[in-house]
């Protein structure tokens, strides 16, 4: 890694986190216009693929053609994992609370850290593990802050309510979302060491869009017939959180281990809370501030080893 890249990496990860943090804002606006979550997810990757297609096909077509069969297959699986992440996590919200879903899907970095030594032969330092655990705890605190209320003391839902009935299926779907994003990041780390960014994201986003469109049609939904404003919000979702945010994370995977990139993604709730304060007049709770501080501390500790 040259000195210029080393200098740019921290700023790139901050930009990526801020970009991805707009995701919940745009999704909320699109949902308010009547778009189902699966439609939003499918069109998000479809628009992102269409936006990157002119550059990929005009400037990188030869490189795309030179991809080996193994590289193509890994890219296809990465796209499927990305699609499954969106599909399972979004669907989990129909069965369980947002807080529970966030806690389970937020375990993704833990799975990345556990599997990276096996699949990527990357050694994870003790400092990275400690930082990762602190960041995950911070994310859990933010999620609990959304679920709990202050009524002569902090009142939170019982553990039994989280682990029974429809909720347990929703929590399992959120956990599947964590496993899917783990596969997406690990394959990305493996491929990005030898594959340029644009061919990689064109293949992955394209395969993810196809997979989600198939899921969309099987579920009986349609991507057509929504308001112009709805498509505008989804277009912004594709342009900013996906093309800027996710693509910057994928760029960083060439230089940083997958565990560090994964733990950086946990900074999204901090950016979302900040944007919600300015755009939606939502004041962050004390638990959000505490959880955010722990996430930042975790990211700092994890990044020290790099």
Taking only the tens place, the pLDDT of each residue in 144-162 is 765 565 555 556 655 555 5
Give percent of the chain with pLDDT exceeding 70.
Answer: 88
Helix pair 268-279, 126-147: axis angle to 10 deg: 40
pTM for the predicted model, two decimal places: 0.84
Q: What pLDDT is recorded for position 205?
A: 96
Q: What is the DSSP string of 30-52?
A: HHHTT--HHHHHHHHHHHHHHHH
CB 258, CB 212: distance < 8 Å = no
Q: What is the DSSP string of 124-135?
A: PPHHHHHHHHHH
Q: How many CA atoms lie within 13 A of 54 on its CB side?
A: 2
Q: What pLDDT is recorded for position 211?
A: 96
Q: What is the dihedral of CA 68, 70, 76, 77, to 10 degrees?
A: -160
235/258 Cα distance (integer angstroms):
28
Is residue 58 exposed (0-12), middle (13-18) or buried (19+ Cβ within 10 Å)?
exposed
Q: What pLDDT is recorded for position 126?
A: 83
Instruction: Give residue-wise pLDDT tens across range 251-273.
Output: 999 988 888 888 887 777 777 77
CB 16, CB 270: distance < 8 Å = no
Q: What pLDDT is recorded for position 81?
A: 96
The dihedral built from the CA positions of residue 283, 134, 114 and 144, taken in this order, carries a sign that is negative
Section 58-72 average pLDDT = 92
CB 51, CB 243: distance < 8 Å = yes
Range in 196-205, 253-262, 272-281, 293-302 the model is least confident about? 272-281
Alpha-carbon Rg of the chain, whole angstroms?
Answer: 19
């Amino acid at each position: 890694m040259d000195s210029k890249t080393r200098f740019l990496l921290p700023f790139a990860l901050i930009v990526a986190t801020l970009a991805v943090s707009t995701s919940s804002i745009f999704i909320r606006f699109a949902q308010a216009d009547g778009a189902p979550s699966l439609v939003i997810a499918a069109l998000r990757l479809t628009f992102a693929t269409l936006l990157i297609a002119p550059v990929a096909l005009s400037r990188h077509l030869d490189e795309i053609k030179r991809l080996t069969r193994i590289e193509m297959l890994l890219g296809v699986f990465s796209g499927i994992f990305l699609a499954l992440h969106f599909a399972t996590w979004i669907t989990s919200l129909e069965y369980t609370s947002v807080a529970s879903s966030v806690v389970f899907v937020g375990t993704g970095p833990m799975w990345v850290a556990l599997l990276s030594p096996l699949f990527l032969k990357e050694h994870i330092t003790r400092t990275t593990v400690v930082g990762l655990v602190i960041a995950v705890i911070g994310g859990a605190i933010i999620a609990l802050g959304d679920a709990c209320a202050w009524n002569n003391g902090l009142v939170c839902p019982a553990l039994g309510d989280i682990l029974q009935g429809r909720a347990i299926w929703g929590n399992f779907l959120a956990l599947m979302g964590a496993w899917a994003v783990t596969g997406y990041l690990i394959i990305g780390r493996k491929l990005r060491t030898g594959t340029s960014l644009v061919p990689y994201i064109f293949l992955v986003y394209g395969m993810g869009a196809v997979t989600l469109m198939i899921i969309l049609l099987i579920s009986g939904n349609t991507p057509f017939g929504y308001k112009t404003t709805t498509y505008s919000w989804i277009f912004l979702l594709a342009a900013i959180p996906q093309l800027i945010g996710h693509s910057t994370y994928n760029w960083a995977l060439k230089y940083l281990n997958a565990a560090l990139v994964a733990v950086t993604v946990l900074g999204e709730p901090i950016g979302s809370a900040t944007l919600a304060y300015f755009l939606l007049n939502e004041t962050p709770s004390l638990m959000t501030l505490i959880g955010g501080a722990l996430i930042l501390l975790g990211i700092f500790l994890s990044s020290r080893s790099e």
